[in-house]
Amino acid sequence: MNVVVTGGTSGLGLAMADALTAAGASVVVTGRTASEVPGAVSIEMDVRDETSAARAIDEAWERLGGIDMLVNNAGIGMRTVNPNFLTEPQGFWQVPADGFRQVIDTNLTGYFLVAREVVPRMIEQGHGRIVNVSVNEATMTRAGFVPYGPSRAGSESLSRIMAADLKDTGITVNVLLPGGATVTGMVPRDAATDGFLDPSVMGPPIVWLASDAAEGVHDQRIVAAEFKQPQPDQGRCR
């Protein structure tokens, strides 16, 4: 299984990349800067830019010898528009327009641009899997969460339409989310994180989604914190 994980150099992306490599997958991780990730190939990519996305997917395809799975994970959080969003939430009218665009461009448009580069190749090869990372629905309606909430709501809609467009093509599309607040770089370092999930919660479900056991699983919304471990012989990437 050849896998590309966007935003795979930290947080949820790194946890998924680590789990996939441990399960035997060949993994390319991407980020705005190339970083050393044990067991994976790192490629620089700015998901907001179609030229960068095209170049990076070309390189990933060549280095892996094809792409079987795309994990759309690259994203930025509320800290980019309000560093104190947990303690001093802002009304949507207080959000800078540039900050709004930056989050939407990364968390929503980025998913579209990268998938747009990968899917034609998957259609040609006759198979492929796309996993779009999302968040709890409460985040999409919570006060003070513009533009992060709308960006994730948009990515969920995009995922459902992608799944509909790709029905019966041999390419599956699913949504994966942690199932609660997670300790990542999106949370201020001085914030109270008691009860937060560890990013490793994403490991078991992403490995399963890359395994033979998940062949044909399509248009599903999978919550990592509620994921049931599969049987041992169903947890390898091939």
CB 1 within 8 A of CB 8: no
Supply the pLDDT for residue 192. Answer: 58
pLDDT beyond 60 at 231: no
What residues have CB less than 8 Å from 2, skipping those under 6 apart? 25, 26, 27, 28, 64, 65, 66, 67, 68, 69
pLDDT digits (tens, 9 = 90+) for 100-110: 999 999 999 99
Confidence of residue 37 (pLDDT cuts 50, 70, 90): confident
Alpha-carbon Rg of the chain, whole angstroms? Answer: 17
Q: Domain of residue 6: give its range.
A: 2-234
Based on the structure, what is the number of domains in the chain? Answer: 1
Supply the pLDDT for residue 234. Answer: 47
Exactly one of 145, 148, 208, 227 is catalytic; name it.
Answer: 148
Kindly state the tokens that stand for 96.
Answer: 């800078």
pLDDT beyond 50 at 183: yes
pLDDT digits (tens, 9 = 90+) for 133-170: 999 999 999 999 999 999 999 999 999 999 999 999 99
What residues have CB less than 8 Å from 228, skipping those under 6 apart? none
* Residue 111 known to be catalytic: no
Kindly state the tokens that stand for 36.
Answer: 């050393």
pLDDT digits (tens, 9 = 90+) for 64-121: 999 999 999 999 999 999 999 989 999 999 999 999 999 999 999 999 999 999 999 9
pLDDT digits (tens, 9 = 90+) for 45-57: 999 999 999 999 9
Supply the pLDDT for residue 195. Answer: 80
Confidence of residue 188 (pLDDT cuts 50, 70, 90): low
- Of the chain, the percentage scoring pLDDT greater than 90 comes to 84
Q: CATH number, domain at 211?
A: 3.40.50.720
Supply the pLDDT for residue 196. Answer: 84
Residue at token pair 């989050």 = 103
CB 177 within 8 A of CB 155: no
CB 191 within 8 A of CB 183: no
Phi first, then psi: what are they for 149, rounded to 5°?
A: -55, -50
